Amino acid sequence: MSGTLYLCATPIGNLEDITYRCVRVLNEVDLIAAEDTRRTLTLLNHLGIEKPLTSYYEHNKAEKGPYLVQKLVDGCNIALVSDAGTPAICDPGEDLVKLCIEAGVNIVPVPGPVAAVTALISSGLSTIKFVFEGFISTNRKNRIELFERLKNETRTMIFYEAPHKLQATLEDMYKYWGNRRITLCHELTKIHEEFIRLTLEEAVKYYETTLPKGEFVLIVEGKSEEELVSEEKASWEQMSIEEHFNYHISQGLTEKDAIKQVAKDRGLRKQDVYKEIKIAD
């Protein structure tokens, strides 16, 4: 019978943030696969757990993934542990999970801390709807493409960011999104935990004179619905009814739905829109 892969969430700073269940599973498995074996060893020493440890990280995942799957197929129970927090979030755990599913290996999540959610709930920004974007690319062109794509995002946005790129990221966010609220979270769950709640404009200024330290989670307010609606309204006003209709057709709406949408966007009756389209025909 094949073994089980346990996805074990571990602390993102404070070692008390480990669940009883996680400690039990780490004690019971045959092998622990860790993204950073040195860091995991510190945790295991703290918990008094002695277990065989092997590495599984971005640069060895291609060979190590199939090796671990074979061990699981042979009946070995393995705990996967990330650098910090929940495995498979911004680490190669996702690939191992896919390989295990293909091989018919049982997967059991052992939930716990996630930096993104820990930051979001303390940010003071809307938690009703949010989008997690993970790490921001180091390549400026890709970063700008991302910020262009997210320009009209109305949900709260969550990013992971390194200190040396922070200033450039904040400048681009301000440039592409205008002035929004942002909460910069660092040293989460640690002694020097800090939540810096500013606007993007203030954040750009703040980091001109402050050296950022530690890894960050950035929580950025989405565009307000009112702003989005008024921008859309302004852009419809530049178009004729026919151009407006063709725009919705190009977005994949049927003729019937495009007429309905144009009427809604412009506050008109459907028959008035229909008449204009017919005249244009």
Binding site for ligand SAM (CB under 6 A): 12-13, 82-86, 89-91, 114-116, 160-161, 185-190, 215-217
Which residue, judged by CB position, is nearest to ligand SAM in the bound state? 85
**Which helix (H) or strand (E) is 178 found in, with range?**
none
Q: Using the minimum distance from each CB to ligand SAM, give the nearer residue, 4 or 86.
A: 86
Q: Using the minimum distance from each CB to ligand SAM, give the nearer residue, 217 or 258.
A: 217
CA distance 149 to 176: 10
Token pair recorded at residue 6: 């346990």
Residue of 199, 207, 205, 129 whose CA lies nearest to 166 = 207
Number of neighbouring beta carbons within 10 Å of residue 235: 12
**Which helix (H) or strand (E) is 31 found in, with range?**
strand 31-34
The backbone torsions φ and ψ at residue 88, rounded to the nearest 5 degrees and listed phi first, read: 80, 5
Q: Could you tell me the end-to-end alpha-carbon distance of the chain, in angstroms, rounded to an integer?
A: 69
Q: How far is the CB of 174 from ligand SAM (least distance, A)?
A: 20
Cβ contacts of 159 within 8 Å, gap of 6 or more: 133, 134, 135, 136, 169, 217, 218, 220
Q: How far is the CB of 38 from ligand SAM (least distance, A)?
A: 15
Q: How far is the CB of 160 from ligand SAM (least distance, A)?
A: 3
Q: How far is the CB of 216 from ligand SAM (least distance, A)?
A: 6
The burial of 179, by beta-carbon neighbours within 10 Å (0-12 exposed, 13-18 middle, 19 or more buried), is given as middle
Q: How far is the CB of 218 from ligand SAM (least distance, A)?
A: 8
Q: Using the minimum distance from each CB to ligand SAM, give the nearer residue, 13 or 222.
A: 13
Cα–Cα distances (Å) from 263 to 238, 242, 249, in that order, read 16, 12, 14
Q: How far is the CB of 127 from ligand SAM (least distance, A)?
A: 16
Cα torsion 42, 44, 48, 52: sign: negative
Helix (H, G, I), strand (E, B) or coil at 157: strand
Q: Using the minimum distance from each CB to ligand SAM, give the nearer residue, 89 or 241.
A: 89
Q: How far is the CB of 44 from ligand SAM (least distance, A)?
A: 18
Q: Using the minimum distance from each CB to ligand SAM, give the nearer residue, 3 or 212.
A: 212
Q: Using the minimum distance from each CB to ligand SAM, give the nearer residue, 41 or 103.
A: 41
Q: Using the minimum distance from each CB to ligand SAM, give the nearer residue, 32 or 262.
A: 32
